[in-house]
């Protein structure tokens, strides 16, 4: 009986361990007034294209809106209007 000279069959068993990462998002809180609910963004130099469809009666229905922001996007607290842009990357 001859030994099998072919390529040895290699069987690798890959055990894929799914990383158990629990996403715990720290709430963003305004450091000035403690607000953690209301925020707003102001985009500078935004180019907005809205496509309308005109109805028979002359009214318009917005179909699609495309926005391209070329400027800075600032992020503000909705209560005290503090500039929280430095916290925005956590969003
Ligand atoms: Zn605030």
Domain assignment of residue 85, given as a range: 39-90
Q: Which residues surround ligand 1, an ion (CB under 5 A)?
A: 30, 32-33, 35, 77, 79-80, 82
**32: three-class secondary structure by DSSP:** coil
Q: Is residue 74 part of a domain?
A: yes
Q: How far apart are CA 83 and CA 85, in angstroms?
A: 6
- CA–centroid distance, 48 to ligand 1, in Å, is 29
Instruction: Give the phi and the psi of residue 86 in degrees, each rounded to 5.
Output: -70, -15
| Residue 27 domain-assigned (yes or no) | no
Q: Is 70 exceeded by the pLDDT of residue 2?
A: no
CA of 25 to the centre of ligand 1 (A): 19
> Do the domain assignments include residue 19?
no
More confident residue, 1 or 18: 18
pLDDT of residue 26: 82
- Residue 84 inside a domain? The answer is yes
Indicate yes or no: pTM above 0.75.
no
Please determine, for residue 1, whether its predicted confidence score (pLDDT) is greater than 60: no
Residue 32 lies in a domain: no
Domain-embedded: residue 68: yes
Tell whether 9 is covered by a domain.
no
Tell me the pLDDT band of 12, cut-offs 50, 70 and 90.
confident
**Number of domains comprising the chain:** 1
């Amino acid at each position: 009986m001859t030994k099998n000279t072919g390529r040895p069959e290699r069987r690798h068993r890959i055990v894929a361990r799914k990383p158990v990462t629990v996403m715990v998002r720290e709430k963003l809180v305004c450091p000035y007034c403690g607000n953690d609910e209301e925020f707003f963004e102001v985009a500078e130099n935004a180019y907005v294209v809205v496509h309308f469809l005109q109805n028979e009666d002359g009214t318009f229905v917005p179909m699609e809106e495309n926005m391209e922001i070329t400027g800075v996007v600032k992020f503000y607290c909705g209560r005290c209007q503090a500039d929280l842009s430095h916290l925005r990357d956590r969003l």
